[in-house]
Structure 1
Amino acid sequence: MPLPKRQLGSHGPMVSSIGLGCMSFAGFFGATDDETSMECLAAADAAGIDFWDTSNLYGFGRSESVIGTYLKQTGAKVTVATKGGIVVKPERRFDNTEDHLRAELEKSLTRLNRDKVELYYIHRRDQSIAIEDVVETLMKFKSEGMIDAYGLSEVAPSTLRRAHAVAPCAAVQNEYSLWTRLPELGLIDTCTALGTAFIPFSPLARGMFGETSVAPETMDQNDWRAVSPRFTEPNYSYNRRQIDGFRSFCQSKGWTTAAGALAWVLDRGYHLIPIPGTRTAAHLSEWLGATDIHLTDADRTEIARLLPAGFAAGDRYSDAQMRGVERYC
């Protein structure tokens, strides 16, 4: 059965209700190789997952290049989202100027083997530039045929409202899952009111909602999660015990843990399109039952008992990783 569709903003295309986050193709969560990434893309394509999310930052173009190679070789028809606005070297900063965004977008299109992308995000907001001016820049890109629509990432509801007043914002991408609930405090509702799609990234809690929770001792030395407070002790052990209860509940229902966690996200609103990430076709296969799960009131009550809002111990980012994220509560 094909995956059901959801609309990418009130004026956007219909895309698969579950997308594919392609950050893992760059090795952020452990070693990978392009052949494995290509196999993952093929599995997503075969499953009908036709909304792929990447960034110029992921492996400094590696993720985009893998996607571009796959699209060139296969002719697959997918909706692609990429991002710009973060500068890493010589030190991390944010640049939303027209010259920078244009140069980065042009390089992204080359790597993706595309004349345009359907969605282009400001990866992090540059606070030195009014968001209204940034949107004007993005509208230039749209008028030139380089993008179909724009999005924002890790922003506050107030930023979304200001941006949307200049030109409709198609999508907002913030972290959201059973263990990261901040968007419930205004952002999801603002997206609903404005007709903006809400794109939860890390809906599987960076691997914690797998059939086996990812363990710190198995992480590669370069794994991005190694310095995340939720993956360091004593927080990790506490979080794993809580999630093990949810895992048992999913098993009792005949669901994979990943499918259960994604079903919960999908149940939060029809404008939510989660983009779980993986670098392997095997892990992707664990998601595919999510759209067949229809939560009952009893299911929702039990999930809320097992994993109440705010259950997670530790912040989702280290202090360094939190730079550029807009805090609003």
Structure 2
Amino acid sequence: MQQRKMGADGPAISALGIGAMSFTNVYGPTDEAQSFALLDAALEAGVTHLDTANVYGRGRSETVIGNYLAARGAETRERFHIATKAAIRAEDGRRWFDNSREHLEGELDKSLTRLGTDAVDLFYVHRRDPDVPIEEVVGTLTRLVEAGKTRGFGFSEIAPSSLRRAASVAPVASIQSEYSLWTRGPELGLVQACAELGTTLVAFSPVGRSMLTDHPIPMERMGECDLLPEMPRFQEPNYSANMAIADGFRALAAEMGLPAAGLAIAWLLAQGDHIVPIPGTRSVDHFHEFVAGTKAALTPEDLARIEQVLPVGWAHGERYSKAQWVGPEIY
């Protein structure tokens, strides 16, 4: 397995990670046995980075990981680089973001209990509260590092300008952002700022929430998913338009001898040594399709062919609904 750095001075991690939202029912029914099988496969393949959050299944994702570590023995914890997130709050139908020291530390403590570990390797602020200066938030995060509760810190879905402000206070290990062949927004400055500052760009939804795979979620199964029905790209007529265009990518992947998901991962890895994709799945077989992408060395000609099939801006529809856009910084 390829290795990449988590931050300029951070540890080496696998070039491929696992997005552990899939350990909940967000993309369809799953159970702990399926998640355990996936984690076993990850260890066998040399995949070490696990990316979860306190809100994934209201703590269920973290609990599954904690149960796995307890079942497999203490040495298994040291084989994984574990990241979690906090800052999203919801109560009585209201959703908001809390970047206060009290909230972040309190939620991290709860996450550590669920994960069954004394410290995580990376702690993200899941959504930025614009009313709290990001420099102040970095101060909170550095204190959590000093307290031994996390070994590094980062942010999710922030703009390049916010990253630069944060990095002026202390090195930021990672920024998490949606980045894939159908979400190219990070190329408008975030990819470049991360490279310049030595910050790892952790790319979530790298296979377009199944659209860039050989088996995209069909419309008749959309009701099983918590998030997708609200997303404009998975609503008609956008869904059918996107499926038709992505068929060309699937055909190209087959011609190149790769699963479509593997080609999507290989494309991301080719965009910079500081990029780590974290696909999620409930299937071990599908996981191995991701791993195949880490073994593919794409040539400039390969990249040009991919660009021809899926040019920048090809996707129909916004990636988020109006409600889902509350929180991510737009730039």
Q: TM-score range by the shorter chain?
A: over 0.9
2:295 counterpart residue number: 292
- Please tell me whether the aligned partners of residues 175 and 202 of structure 1 are also in contact (alpha carbons under 8 angstroms): yes
1:156 counterpart residue number: 159
- Please tell me whether the aligned partners of residues 27 and 224 of structure 2 are also in contact (alpha carbons under 8 angstroms): no
Q: Which moved more, 1:35-44 or 1:309-318?
A: 35-44
Q: Distance in 2 between matches of 1:216 and 1:55?
A: 28
Query: What aligned pairs does 1:253-292 form with structure 2 within 5 A after superposition?
Result: 253-292=256-295
Q: Distance in 2 between matches of 1:191 and 1:169?
A: 9
Quote the offset at 1:221 in angstroms: 4.2
**2:178 corresponds to 1:186:** no
1:24 counterpart residue number: 22
2:106 counterpart residue number: 103
Q: Give TM-score, length-normalised by structure 1.
A: 0.97
2:130 counterpart residue number: 127
**2:305 corresponds to 1:302:** yes
Query: For 2:275, what is the secondary structure of its paired residue?
Result: coil
Query: For 2:277, what is the secondary structure of its paired residue?
Result: coil
2:89 counterpart residue number: 87
Alpha-carbon displacement from aligned partner over 1:267-289 (angstroms, at most 9, x marks no partner): 00000011011122121111111
Q: Distance in 2 between matches of 1:267 and 1:81?
A: 23
- Runs of 4+ more than 3 Å apart: none
Q: Distance in 1 between matches of 2:302 and 2:194?
A: 26
1:206 counterpart residue number: 209
Query: For 2:223, what is the secondary structure of its paired residue?
Result: coil
Q: Give TM-score, length-normalised by structure 2.
A: 0.97
- Please tell me whether the aligned partners of residues 119 and 150 of structure 1 are also in contact (alpha carbons under 8 angstroms): yes
Query: For 2:276, what is the secondary structure of its paired residue?
Result: coil
Quote the offset at 1:216 in angstroms: 2.0
Over 3 Å counting, the alpha-carbon distance change for 1:9 and 1:216 in structure 2 is: same
Q: Structure 1: which 5+ runs fail to align?
A: none
Quote the offset at 1:223 in angstroms: 2.7
- Please tell me whether the aligned partners of residues 17 and 278 of structure 2 are also in contact (alpha carbons under 8 angstroms): yes
- Please tell me whether the aligned partners of residues 267 and 298 of structure 2 are also in contact (alpha carbons under 8 angstroms): yes
- Please tell me whether the aligned partners of residues 121 and 152 of structure 2 are also in contact (alpha carbons under 8 angstroms): yes
Give the paired residue count.
Answer: 326
Q: Structure 2: which 5+ runs fail to align?
A: none
Q: Distance in 2 between matches of 1:280 and 1:105?
A: 29
The code of the aligned residue for 2:48 comes to D
Quote the offset at 1:219 in angstroms: 2.3
Alpha-carbon displacement from aligned partner over 1:40-80 (angstroms, at most 9, x marks no partner): 11111211110000000001110000001111211312000
Quote the offset at 1:302 in angstroms: 0.9
1:223 counterpart residue number: 226
**2:317 corresponds to 1:319:** no
Cα RMSD over matched residues? Answer: 0.9
1:113 counterpart residue number: 116
Quote the offset at 1:208 in angstroms: 1.1
Quote the offset at 1:176 in angstroms: 0.2
Quote the offset at 1:154 in angstroms: 0.2
Alpha-carbon displacement from aligned partner over 1:83-137 (angstroms, at most 9, x marks no partner): 0000022211000101111110000000001100010000000111100111101
2:38 counterpart residue number: 40
Q: Distance in 2 between matches of 1:112 and 1:137?
A: 22
Match 2:70 to one of 44, 69, 72:
72
Query: For 1:274, what is the secondary structure of its paired residue?
Result: strand
- Please tell me whether the aligned partners of residues 123 and 153 of structure 2 are also in contact (alpha carbons under 8 angstroms): yes
Query: For 1:163, what is the secondary structure of its paired residue?
Result: helix
Alpha-carbon displacement from aligned partner over 1:217-253 (angstroms, at most 9, x marks no partner): 1123453101110001110111111111010011011
